[in-house]
Amino acid sequence: MDLSRRGFLAGSAGAATLLGLSACTSVHSNSGTTDATVKASGSTGAKSSLGPQTGQLTFAFWGGSTGETAGFNYVKQKFEAANPGAKITLKVVPYDGFFAGIDRGIQAGNAPDIFRVDYTTMGKYSSAGALMDLTQYFSSSDIDAFLPALWDAIKYQNIPFGVPHQTDCTAIVYDKDAFASAGITSVPDSLANAWSWDEFSQVATKLRSALPASKFPFAYDWTKAGAYRWLSFLYQAGGSLLTPDLKKSALPSAAGTKALDFTKSFFTNKWVPASNTIKGAKYSDEFFLGKTVPMTFIGDFLVPEIADPKSGYKGNWGVTFMPKDTAAATDLGGNAIVANKATKNPDLAAAFLKFIVSEDSMKYFCEQAIELPTLKSLASSSLSYATAPDAVKVFAQQATTLSQTITTETSVPAFSKINTLLQDQLELAFNGQATAKTLQAIADGVNTSIGS
Amino acid sequence: MATTMLASTSPRSDRVMRKRARGRFYWLRFALALVIALVMLFPLYWMLLTAVSTKADLYRSGLHLWPAHFTLDNFRDPIRNFPVTRWFRNSLVIAVLVTVITVLVNLLAGFAFAKLNFRGKNPIFLLLLSTMMIPIQAIMVAQFKLVVKLNMFGSIWAVILPSSASVFGIFLARQFFIAIPDELLEAARCDGAGIFRTFRSIVLPLCRPLVAVLTLMTFMYEWNDFTWPLIVFFSDNQKFTVPIGLVTDIKGQYTTNYGAIMAMSLLMALPMVVLFVAFQKYFVQGLARSGIK
Amino acid sequence: MSSSPSLVTELPAEALQGSAGLRPRRRRAVTSRGHGPTAGAFLLPNLVLVAVFLLLPLVWAFWLSMQKIGSLGPSQFLGINNYVDIIRDSVFWEALWNTALFTLLTVPVGMAVGLGMAILLNGVLPGRKLIRSIIFLPLVISGVSSGLIGAWMFDQYSGFVNNFLHALGINGPDWQSNGKWAMVSLVLVTLWIRVGFDMIIYLAGLQGVDPEYHDAAMVDGASAWQRFRAITLPLLGPSTFFLLIMNLIYSFQVFDTVYAMTNGGPNYSTTTLVTYAYKVGFDEHGSGELGYAAAIGVVIYLITLVITALNWRLSRNRDLAS
C-alpha cells in the first residue's frame, strides 16, 4: 500500500480570521474560530533526543476494541520499563462525550496530559492553542519517517501539535450466505472492479426484495460524529467540500446534488434501517451484528469486534470495497495523539508521544487493533495482523483511495464545526429537507465557520 | 360498613350512582383502581423481567410476560466491566452530604420565617422563594464558570455546594413551624431559654416528621439528580454518580442490550423504592399535623 | 393514627387549613421585640448558599449571554448578538414550540388524571393504601431510569408497546424515527412519572373537604356532578394552583428523562429549550458555544418568570373574586 503523497501546501490550512475592532459588532457565537496565531517554540529538533524521563502522566483515550486497549497497555508497560520513575495512568473514557469531557477539563485546568484525538477534530484544539507545540522534539529525520500526508494532518500553521498514530478508513463487510441467497454471485475482489453506484444500487435492490420488511440491505457509518463520512459519496461523485484554496465552500455543485440525492434514496428505497440516520442511537456495526442488515459500511478498527469468536458476527462474512462513481474514495479515519499544553511535564509528555509512534509500539498496536500505520517503514512492510488478515488487505487497498483533497479538507481547523453542521443538515435532509436547501445551508455554515 | 361517599364520584360513574347500586359501584371502583395500579406497576415489572432475561429472549417476536431463561448475567457483566460499586458509593456520599446540609439550613431558615420578626422578612422570603424558579439549565454555564473559578471543578464539592443551595424545604418547614403555638415558645422564653435552645429542645422534637419528610425528599432528589453532576463529572468515570454511569457508560456500551441497562436501572431504583416503602409512615405523620391541634 | 392518611410531601398551607383559597394573611401581633440578629443567624447559612450558587450565577448568566465563549475558553464581547441569533435560530423556535407542546400535553392531562385517581382512592377501598403507593412509586424512581424504561418499552422494533399492539393486530408506530410519536412516547412516560404527585396533592386537598357540605347538598337534591362542580372543585382551588405552578415548572425544566429516552431526537422533534441549551453548551455533538447556551438559559429563565407571575396574578384575582 502506498499512502505517501506530497504534503499539501504549508500554511494553507486554517486561514486565521482577522477580526478588526470595527467588525466587533458583526461577530456572532457561530462565526469563525478566533484562531490563536501560533509561533513555534524552539528550533526544530532541539530536544529530539531525550534521555530517560521521570514523573506522572495521564493518558485518556476512548474505549475502543480490546485490541486497542491491549496496544495502549503494551506501550505503557514498555515505556515505564524504559523510563524507571515514570508512571503513565491510562484513562478509558466512552467515545460518546469524550471531547466534551476534554473541553471541560481544558477550561477547568484538569484535562489529561495526553489524549487521543481524531484528525477531523484535531484542528479545533490546535487552532485554539490548547495543545503542546512539538517542534523542538522532532528532528527533520524524525519527521521524514512519517507518511507526509499524515504528518501534515497534525500540523497547524506549519507547527506540529501531535503525532499521527494510525489511520483507518471505511469499506464494506457483508454476509456471504445472505448474498448468495439473494442471488448476488460476484463481489468485487480488487479496487479496479469495485461496484459502480449503479451496480451497488442493483445489489441493494436485490437484497431489498430478498429480505423481510424488518430487515434492510445495508447500514452506513455516518452516525453522530461519523457524519463527515457522507463526504465519501461527494468525493466519489467528483465533488469536494471546499475550494482548492480551502477558503470557501465548493457546495452547492452538481456532484453535491448527485451525492445527496443518492444517499437520500437509501431511506426512500428502504435500503437502510429508518434509524440509521445521523442522529440515530445505533452505529452501523451494531445493525450488522444484530443481523438487521447483511451488509454494512465500517472502519477497519471494528474488524476485531466483528471477528471476535465469542461476541462477534455469527455467520460467514467477507470484506469488499466502497462503491465508486467518477472516482473511488473513502474517509480519512484514524487518530493523532496529542499533549495538553498545560501539562506539568512537557519533556515526559513528548517522550511518551515519541514512544507511542516508535516503530515497535506502532507495529504492535496496529496488529492488535487492525488499523493502518503512519510510518513509512511499516507501511511498506506488511504487518502480521492478529485477526482477519485478509480483511485488512482490503482496507489497506481502500486506503489508497484517500486523495490529497480528502486529507487536506478533513484536517482544516474548522472541520469539527463543519462536522457538527453536517450532522444537523444531513439529518434534516434524510428526513425530507430538499437537496438544494440542504446543500446551501451546508455551504453557508461552512463559510461562516471558516470565517470567510 | 358505612362507606361515606365523599366527593368520590367521577362523572363517568354518575349513572351508577343514581342507581344507588352501592355495592356494585364499590366493586367497580375497586376494579378500576386495580387496573390503574397494574398499569402503573407494569413498567417496573418489565424492567425486572428484562433485567433477568437473556439478550436473545428479549428480541424474540411476540409477547412474553415471563423470562424464558433466567439469568443474572445482566447484573454480573456491567459490574465486572464498569466501576458500578464506586458509582453507588459516590452517589451515596454526595446524597448524604447534600441532604445533611440542605435540611439543616432549610430548617433554620424556615423557623426564622415562621416565628421571628425582623425587618425585610417578606421581601427576603419572596426572594428566596423566587430562586425556586431558577432552572439549572438557565445558570449552568455560569455555575460551571463559577466552580472552575473556585477551583472545585471535578471534585464532589462542585456538586454538593450548588445542590445544597436549595430553598425547597423552607416552604414546608415554615408552614410546619407556623402551626406550633406561639404560647409554647413564649413559655420556653419565660423559663429563660434562649431562642436557639428553644429551637433545639422544643421545636425540633415536635417536628421529627418534618425532618423525616425533608430528609427523604432531599435524599431522593439528590440520588436521582442528573443535569449538574453530568456537567461536573462528565470526563471521569471513576467520579460518576449512578445516573451518569447509566446514561454514559452503561447505555454507551450496551446500546442494544437492554437487559444490562434495565438491570442497572433496577439497582439504581431499588434503594429509593426501599426507602419509600420503609418511610411511608413519616409521610403520613408529616401530614397528620403531629398532634398539635 | 388516622385511618385515612395521605402521603403528603409538600402542601400549600391553605390545603392544610382547608380554607377556600383565601391565603391566610397572618398579621401576627408584633411581639415585644424584633429578632434581627437571631434571625440573621438562622437565615445566614441558607442565604449564603443561595446567594453564591444561585443568585450570583443568575446575574453572571446575563453577562455571559453577551459573550462569545468557545468550549475551550477564550471569550469575546458581543453585546446582544446572541439574542439576535436566537431570534433567527429556527431550532430555537422549534425547541420553544416543543416545550410548549410538551407542557400543554403533560400538565392538564396529568392533573386531571391525578384528580380522578385521588377521588377514586379517597373513598374506602380494599388495599387502598397499597394502590396509592404503587401510583406514587414512579416518582421515586429517577428520571433517568424512567427515560431508559421508556426508551426500551417504546423501542420501535422490539419494545413491549409495539409487540403488544402487534398482538392486537395493530401495526405500532415508529416511536424513534417519527418525531410526533417520539413526543407522544415522551409525554406518556412523563405522565406515568407525574400522576402520582398530582394524586397525592389532590388527596390531601380532599381531606379538607368537609363531608357535611356534601350531605347538605344531597339533601338539596344536587347530583353528584353538580356537587363535584360546586363544592369539591372550588375547595380544591389551592391544591390546583399549587400543582399548576409545580407542574409547569417541572415540565418546563424536564431534562433527565428526555436525555435518557430520546436525547432530543429524531432531528429536533423532542428537543426542549433546556435540552437545547445543554446541547449547545456542553454536548459532544453540539457547537460548544457557552455564551449562546447562556443566552438560551436566560430566555428559559425569563419565560419561567412570566409563567409564575401570570399564575400569581390569576390566583390573586380568584381570591378577590371569592
Chain A within 8 Å of B227 (Cβ-Cβ)? no
Please report residues of A whose CB lies closer than 8 A to that of C91: 424
Instruction: For residue C32, give the amino acid letter.
Output: S
Contact B235 A60 (CB under 8 A): yes
| Closest Cβ opposite residue A93 in set B59, B231, B237 | B237
Set of cell numbers at residue A189: 475482489
Bridging pattern class, strands A86-93 and A333-339: unpaired
A406 touches A332 (CB < 8 A)? yes
Compute the average pLDDT of residues C30-49: 77
Confidence at residue B146, expressed as pLDDT on a 0 to 100 scale: 94
Tens-digit pLDDT profile for residues C168-192? 988 889 898 888 999 999 999 999 9
A378 touches A363 (CB < 8 A)? yes
Residues B100 and B37: their CA atoms lie apart, in Å, by: 34
DSSP string, A156-195: ETTEE-SEEEEEE-EEEEEEHHHHHHTT------SGGGPP
Beta bridge partners of A131: A340
Confidence at residue A264, expressed as pLDDT on a 0 to 100 scale: 97
Mutate to test the interface with C, among B1, B4, B5, B8 (most CBs of C within 10 A): B8
Q: In what order do the strands lie in the sheet with A86-93?
A: A86-93, A55-62, A114-118, A333-339, A163-168
Confidence at residue A15, expressed as pLDDT on a 0 to 100 scale: 27
Kindly list the averaged pLDDT for each block of 10 residues, start to end, along chain A of length 452. 30 28 55 62 76 89 83 94 93 83 87 93 89 93 90 90 94 95 92 95 96 94 93 96 93 96 96 90 88 94 86 90 95 93 93 95 92 86 82 89 89 88 93 94 92 64
Which three-class secondary structure state does DSSP give residue B65? Answer: coil
DSSP H or E run through A286: helix A284-289
Spatial CA neighbour of C270 closest among C151, C145, C163, C152:
C151
Confidence at residue C214, expressed as pLDDT on a 0 to 100 scale: 77
Confidence at residue C73, expressed as pLDDT on a 0 to 100 scale: 66
User: Which partners does chain A have (≥3 C-beta pairs < 8 Å)?
Assistant: B, C
Written in H, E and C, the secondary structure of C74-126 is CEEECCCHHHHHHHHCHHHHHHHHHHHHHHHHHHHHHHHHHHHHHHHHHCCCC
Contact C78 A28 (CB under 8 A): yes
Q: Cell match 409538600: residue?
A: C10
Residues B187 and B201: their CA atoms lie apart, in Å, by: 13
Dihedral class, residue A85 (left if φ above 0, else alpha if ψ from -120 to 50, else beta): left
For every one of its 293 residues, what pLDDT tens digit does chain B have, with 9 covering 90 and above?
Answer: 333 333 444 444 554 444 443 445 788 888 999 999 999 999 999 999 999 988 878 877 777 888 888 889 999 999 998 899 999 999 999 999 999 999 999 999 998 998 888 888 889 988 888 887 788 888 999 999 999 999 888 889 999 999 999 887 887 888 888 888 888 888 887 877 778 888 888 888 888 878 888 888 888 889 999 999 998 887 777 889 999 999 888 887 777 778 999 999 999 999 999 988 888 766 544 443 322 22
Residue C21 C-alpha, separation from nearest chain A C-alpha, in angstroms? 48
Q: Which residue of B has its CA nearest to C160?
A: B63
Tens-digit pLDDT profile for residues A131-158? 999 999 999 999 999 988 889 889 998 8
Tens-digit pLDDT profile for residues C227-268? 888 888 888 888 888 788 888 888 888 899 999 998 887 888
Beta bridge partners of C105: none
DSSP string, C18-50: T-SS------PPPPSS--HHHHHHHHHHHHHHH
- How far CA A84 is from CA of A54, A88, A222, in Å, comes to 7, 11, 43
Compute the average pLDDT of residues C29-39: 61
Contact A27 C85 (CB under 8 A): no
Please report residues of A whose CB lies closer than 8 A to that of B249: 94
Confidence at residue B104, expressed as pLDDT on a 0 to 100 scale: 92
A100 touches B234 (CB < 8 A)? yes
| Closest Cβ opposite residue C68 in set A29, A275, A417 | A29
Chain C within 8 Å of A440 (Cβ-Cβ)? no
Mutate to test the interface with A, among B141, B235, B253 (most CBs of A within 10 A): B235
DSSP string, B127-195: HHHHGGG--HHHHHHHHHHHHHHTT-TTSTHHHHHHHH---HHHHHHHHHHHTS-HHHHHHHHHTT--H
Radius of gyration of chain C (CA): 24
0.85 exceeded by pTM: no
Residues C44 and B79: their CA atoms lie apart, in Å, by: 43
Residues C207 and C4: their CA atoms lie apart, in Å, by: 8
Chain A within 8 Å of C57 (Cβ-Cβ)? no
- How far CA A302 is from CA of A289, B256, C291, in Å, comes to 11, 17, 37
